[in-house]
Structure 1
Amino acid sequence: MTLHLRWAAVTDTGHVRSNNQDAYYAGERLLVVADGMGGMAAGDVASRLAVDAITSLDMAIDNEHQMDALHKALEAANGRIAETVAGDAALQGMGTTLTAVIFSADRAALAHVGDSRAYLLRAGRLNQLTKDDTYVQMLVDQGLIRPEEAGNHPRRAVVTQALQGEPVSPAYVIVEPEPGDRWLLCSDGLTTVVPTETIEAEMLAVQDPQACAERLLELALQAGGPDNVTVIVADLTTD
């Protein structure tokens, strides 16, 4: 059985930011979202460097080589960021999140750094596959705050891991894909202002990927659009 990705992607600067520092890629076998940070144009540079370093993975890769390919691509992305910063002191401190998934016929391999997210909608339930690399998530993990308190914490925007040209420890996840799976990759411009229950409801209700992606973007903008917003919705089909 051959599975195909039917995807749609949207991105928007939002209502507050002056430029869009998100970057994304979507293809036949690869989905990527990156959310740049660092102020001015630096975040824009970092996210684009990271995505460009990953796009070569949009090809058939054997299951046993998927994780190694992802790891090497993330190392290459981190290296490009380090080289760019070394060549321009004004870019010091720039970085980016990165969430990427590569698909084969019977495996999906995911790599993640930062607070962009990947979700899988299967059998009517939306499951978050990534864990945020953030200060508030660390507090939640340590039992110091409740999950529902994280969204209002004054340090909720502090990211503890990103691609910044320094050593990093990405998280990796393997999923066995099934026909009918719906994937969502997004920057935190969506998830910080639109509740997970609302995202799940829209993912279930809006069948067309393009319409679903546009609806999620619309909800983020209606909630104030305080950050850049990028949304990829991808369905796994057999046709």
Structure 2
Amino acid sequence: MTLKLRSAAVSDRGLIRSANQDSVHAGPYLVTVADGMGGMAAGDLASAIAIAAVTPLDVPTPDDQLVEVLRGAVEVAGERIRAAVLEDPGREGMGTTLTALLISATGTGLALAHVGDSRAYLLRGGALEQMTRDDTFVQMLVDEGVITADEALNHPRRAVVTQALQGDPVVPAYTTSTPRAGDRWLLCSDGLSNVVREGTLAETLNGYPDQEECARRLVDLALRAGGPDNITVIIADIVE
């Protein structure tokens, strides 16, 4: 039995922002989302650079090389962003989040790369689990016990990111796991996760079997919640 990735992505500008600074790729081996920051044109550019650096990984890759190739691509993304800033000092401060999921050629291994506050969730057996840790000021406060997770949802500094791909040294998180048939992954920018509660995410992921229909429903929920930011959603199912 060979397991494969079947995915769909939907991205929306939202109701407040004048442009969409998110970039996304959803392919047969790789799904990835990047949320740009640092001014409209620069944010667009940073997220596009990051996605362009990782999309060559959307090819069959051995299990034991998944993390290695992801790490290399993330380093390339950082180098290209640094070069873009040096080329135009007006881009100083631009950057992007990056969350990428890569399945092996045989479908027996998965690797996840993460930096910033875009997120990856895994729905397995009907239960939803957040698989990434936000690189944010409020997450640091939660970790230190200063505030609760519920208080973090409405904290005035919840958008302050502690690390992102900006051309400076970063410490991305790399994790591996074993896929199972029936697993459903959700990758999203914070335009979804900041406004739609986890319980609603789980209910929607369980209730919409079709990947694209599910992604569109989640974007719609974010828009109904005010759509204050760009919204990007990837639904990726592990199938036989």
Fold-level similarity (TM above 0.5)? yes
Tell me the amino acid that sits aligned with residue 133 of structure 2.
K
1:223 Cα deviation from its structure 2 partner: 0.3
Q: How many aligned positions are there? A: 238
Aligned partner of 1:30 in structure 2 is 30
Tell me the amino acid that sits aligned with residue 102 of structure 2.
I
1:90 Cα deviation from its structure 2 partner: 1.1
Aligned partner of 1:119 in structure 2 is 121
Q: 2:182 aligns with which of 180, 183, 186?
A: 180
Aligned partner of 2:151 in structure 1 is 149
Residues 1-239 of structure 1 correspond to what in structure 2 (within 5 A)?
Answer: 1-104=1-104, 105-238=107-240
Tell me the amino acid that sits aligned with residue 10 of structure 2.
V
* 1:121-177 C-alpha deviation (Å, 9 max, x unpaired): 001101110000000000000011111100111111000010000000000111100
Q: 2-side partners of 1:154 and 1:229: how far apart?
A: 20
Percent of aligned pairs with the same amino acid: 58
Q: 2-side partners of 1:231 and 1:158: how far apart?
A: 21
* 1:25-67 C-alpha deviation (Å, 9 max, x unpaired): 0111000000000012110000000000000111111111111
Q: 2-side partners of 1:184 and 1:51: how far apart?
A: 17
Q: 1-side partners of 2:18 and 2:76: how far apart?
A: 29
Q: 2-side partners of 1:107 and 1:126: how far apart?
A: 20
Q: 1-side partners of 2:14 and 2:157: how far apart?
A: 21
- The answer to whether the Cα contact below 8 Å between 2:115 and 2:172 also exists between their aligned partners in 1 is yes
Q: 2-side partners of 1:71 and 1:60: how far apart?
A: 16
Q: 1-side partners of 2:180 and 2:224: how far apart?
A: 33
Q: 2-side partners of 1:106 and 1:64: how far apart?
A: 11
Moved over 6 A (4+): none
> What TM-score do the two structures reach when normalised by structure 2?
0.98
Q: 2-side partners of 1:170 and 1:130: how far apart?
A: 11
- The answer to whether the Cα contact below 8 Å between 2:21 and 2:40 also exists between their aligned partners in 1 is no
RMSD: 0.6
Tell me the amino acid that sits aligned with residue 64 of structure 1.
D
1:17 Cα deviation from its structure 2 partner: 0.2
